[in-house]
A and B are shown apart, each in its own frame.
Chain A
Amino acid sequence: MIGQSPIRIGIAHIVLILGIVVVAFPIYYTFVASTHSLQTILRPPLPLVPGDRFFENYWTALFGGVGRIGGVSVGTLLLNTTVMALGIAVGKIVISILSAYAIVFFRFPLRMMFFWLIFITLMLPVEVRILPTYKVMVDFGLIDTYAGLTLPLMASATATLLFRQFFLTIPGELVEAARVDGAGPWRFFKDILLPLSKTNIAALFVILFIYGWTQYLWPLLVTNRNDMGTIVIALKKMISFADADTEWHLVMVTSILAIVPPILVVLFMQRWFVKGLVETEK
């Protein structure tokens, strides 16, 4: 290690703290705004410290219903978004672990063709096939349903590739031993493969939960009813600069409520998150 002068270390700390201020300030300030009354927010500059309306604002938003989005409460939106994020995360993991299991541990005609069919979907993000996918949703009657919000986003080449890659590192002897002991495919999957994949599943879960929670284009397309919307979409609907009646204090509360759950997931599962991020990136 090269000797670093205390001054340089000091500068490094200052730059890092400035960086964190830039990174954290927009979120902190939104939190501050969420604790002030509408009148205070409408007269900038806003104070830098929280106000006294915390309980009032959060209570109104969570249980009272917000006018601009048809009186739907933020609680309903949070429920929808949680269902969507969990549905996508769990669905993707289940579907991909099964298909990866089939592709690695079985030999059957068309195996590699299936693998390629899954792999190529990496190149077809929702953004490039917006209209026809929407049409499919209408034809199946999936508009304004949880299935519509989650199903189309469940197929993931990335997760399948990750599981496949991990399964390929499992020594053949282990499979052989399991078979000698009389374990069938299901038994092997449940008692050996799943426990070995725990870390990978946790890592993927964090990434996919955030992916589901932060979706924008898809819920925008497949939900019309306000009470089926996600919190991110509702937030967009709540803001209007043209009208004077935007309830900014409730907008701020909703923003904070939309940000906190995925941040908690990242912070509490940080170890898996960092691992997952570095490994799953396609």
Chain B
Amino acid sequence: MGRRQEDIGSGGSSLSPRVIFPNKILPYLLVAPQLAITAVFFYWPASQALYQSMLREDPFGLNSKFVWFDNFARVLADPNYLNSVRVTAVFSLATAFVAMAVALLLAVMADKVVRGRGIYRTLMIWPYAVAPAIAGMLWLFLFNPSIGSLAYMLRWLGINWDPLLNGPQAMVLVVAAAAWKQISYNFLFFVAGLQAIPRTLIEAAAIDGAGETKRFWTIVFPLLAPTTFFLLVINTTYAFFDTFGIIHAVTGGGPGKATETLVYKVYNDGFVNLILGDSAAQSVILMVIVIALTAFQFRFVERKVHYG
């Protein structure tokens, strides 16, 4: 994992086997399937998105004209888009924070126990297999105002709970569902990260009289930073792109536009409202975000993370 960075940089020449098969046509046949799919379903659509983002079509799709960056200017000035940027930021940070904090707490606890560690891990990892949209629906089932049992309890406690009408409550619900699904993933990585910390360091601190809480914040947490940082990027990417299903299934971006994330807005503007130019411009902005996140990840994260 840590080496991938360098082999890409060096073209792999130093590591690859010196002996190779002399064959002129075979290698092309071998890469052909992947290249064909990549070209047809990745590069062509991506280039179309770029092209469309600079077109303005009339509502009937009969005429279009090339408008350079007008669509971008309009999208970036649109209060709805800015709202969506804000919603995405709140949603992603809250999801990443909750999912990581809970996972870290559980991983630290799992690191302490000896008996039953395997069972805890097994019981902890299965939500990974639940589709984000289904995670959303499970939470919606528990918390919807008409038949949700937990919503019933909240009302019984005197809380005026209705995520279908109340924006902030809807946000809480989608964050809870999104974070819940991600706990198991973060848990696995934190457990691996904790196991890689040398016991001697912790023991030395204990001999010097540092209490458990102090040991955690001054030794364990800083040493865990690479894992935490890596997970922060992964969780942000997850919250940005993989949670479309949760939003679509649970709130549909509503109430109002309280949970309309950037990806949901691309879908909504393109497929429901049919504003093609704006949707394409938003796609391109998202592409820039993905490229930035990926570059960031390869540049700063890959090298520092060690899984032991």
Q: Is the CB of B116 within 8 A of A13?
A: yes
Q: Is the CB of A236 within 8 A of B249?
A: yes
Q: Min CB distance, A259 to chain B, in Å?
A: 5
Q: Is the CB of A26 within 8 A of B49?
A: no
Measured in the bound complex, the distance between the Cα atoms of B101 and A15 in whole Å is 13
Measured in the bound complex, the distance between the Cα atoms of B247 and A254 in whole Å is 20
Interface mask (A128-153 → B, CB under 8 Å = 1, otherwise 0): 11111111100000000000000110
Interface mask (B148-173 → A, CB under 8 Å = 1, otherwise 0): 11011100000000001000000000
Q: Min CB distance, B196 to chain A, in Å?
A: 12
Measured in the bound complex, the distance between the Cα atoms of B135 and A136 in whole Å is 31
Measured in the bound complex, the distance between the Cα atoms of B180 and A281 in whole Å is 20
Measured in the bound complex, the distance between the Cα atoms of B47 and A129 in whole Å is 9
Contacting B245 at CB < 8 Å: which of A16, A119, A217?
Answer: A217
B206: which A residues are within 8 A, CB to CB? 2
Interface mask (A82-121 → B, CB under 8 Å = 1, otherwise 0): 0000000000001110110111111110011010011101
Q: Is the CB of A214 within 8 A of B112?
A: no
Complex interface residues of chain A between 170 and 214 (CB less than 8 A to chain B):
170-172, 174-176, 179, 184-185, 188, 210, 213-214
Q: Closest B residue to A15 by CB, please name it.
A: B109
Contacting A267 at CB < 8 Å: which of B112, B126, B164?
Answer: B126
Q: Is the CB of B152 within 8 A of A23?
A: no
- Are A123 and B109 also in contact (CB < 8 A) when A131-B283, A241-B144 are? no
Q: Is the CB of A266 within 8 A of B126?
A: yes
- Are A155 and B128 also in contact (CB < 8 A) when A124-B46, A236-B248 are? no
Q: Is the CB of B106 within 8 A of A16?
A: yes
Number of A-B contacts (CB under 8 A): 313
Contacting A270 at CB < 8 Å: which of B48, B122, B132, B286?
Answer: B122
Interface size classification for chain A: 35 or more
Measured in the bound complex, the distance between the Cα atoms of B13 and A172 in whole Å is 12
- Are A274 and B19 also in contact (CB < 8 A) when A2-B206, A155-B38 are? no
Q: Closest B residue to A278 by CB, please name it.
A: B307
Interface mask (A9-26 → B, CB under 8 Å = 1, otherwise 0): 101110110011011101
- Are A44 and B149 also in contact (CB < 8 A) when A2-B202, A129-B49 are? yes
Decide yes or no whether B82 CB sits under 8 A from chain A: no
Q: Min CB distance, B150 to chain A, in Å?
A: 8
Interface size classification for chain B: 35 or more
- Are A235 and B46 also in contact (CB < 8 A) when A125-B290, A130-B283 are? no
Complex interface residues of chain A between 213 and 263 (CB less than 8 A to chain B):
213-217, 220-221, 232, 235-236, 239, 241, 248, 251-252, 255, 258-259, 262-263
Interface mask (B73-88 → A, CB under 8 Å = 1, otherwise 0): 0000000000000000
Q: Is the CB of A262 within 8 A of B45?
A: no
Q: Is the CB of B130 within 8 A of A236?
A: no
Q: Min CB distance, B59 to chain A, in Å?
A: 16
Measured in the bound complex, the distance between the Cα atoms of B248 and A59 in whole Å is 29
Complex interface residues of chain B between 93 and 146 (CB less than 8 A to chain A):
102, 105-106, 109-110, 112-113, 116, 120, 122-135, 137-142, 144, 146
Q: Is the CB of A274 within 8 A of B41?
A: no
Measured in the bound complex, the distance between the Cα atoms of B180 and A136 in whole Å is 35
Interface of A is mostly: helix
Interface mask (B1-16 → A, CB under 8 Å = 1, otherwise 0): 1011001100110011
B142: which A residues are within 8 A, CB to CB? 26, 29
Q: Is the CB of B26 within 8 A of A185?
A: yes
Measured in the bound complex, the distance between the Cα atoms of B244 and A148 in whole Å is 20
Q: Min CB distance, B69 to chain A, in Å?
A: 18
- Are A263 and B34 also in contact (CB < 8 A) when A16-B120, A46-B149, A108-B28 are? no
27 contacts between A and B (CB under 8 A): A2-B206, A8-B212, A15-B105, A16-B106, A19-B124, A23-B124, A24-B126, A29-B149, A33-B141, A44-B149, A99-B35, A118-B35, A123-B291, A124-B46, A130-B279, A132-B52, A132-B280, A168-B7, A168-B12, A168-B17, A214-B131, A221-B271, A255-B134, A255-B138, A270-B125, A277-B128, A278-B307
**Known pairs A42-B147, A210-B129, A278-B192 / 10 extra A-B pairs, C-beta < 8 Å:** A99-B33, A105-B21, A131-B280, A168-B15, A170-B17, A188-B21, A214-B131, A236-B248, A255-B134, A281-B234
**Chain A residues engaging chain B, CB cutoff 8 angstroms:** 1-2, 4, 8-9, 11-13, 15-16, 19-20, 22-24, 26-27, 29-30, 33, 41-42, 44-46, 94-96, 98-99, 101-108, 111-112, 114, 117-119, 121-125, 127-136, 151-152, 154-155, 160-161, 164-165, 168-172, 174-176, 179, 184-185, 188, 210, 213-217, 220-221, 232, 235-236, 239, 241, 248, 251-252, 255, 258-259, 262-263, 265-267, 270, 273-274, 277-279, 281-282
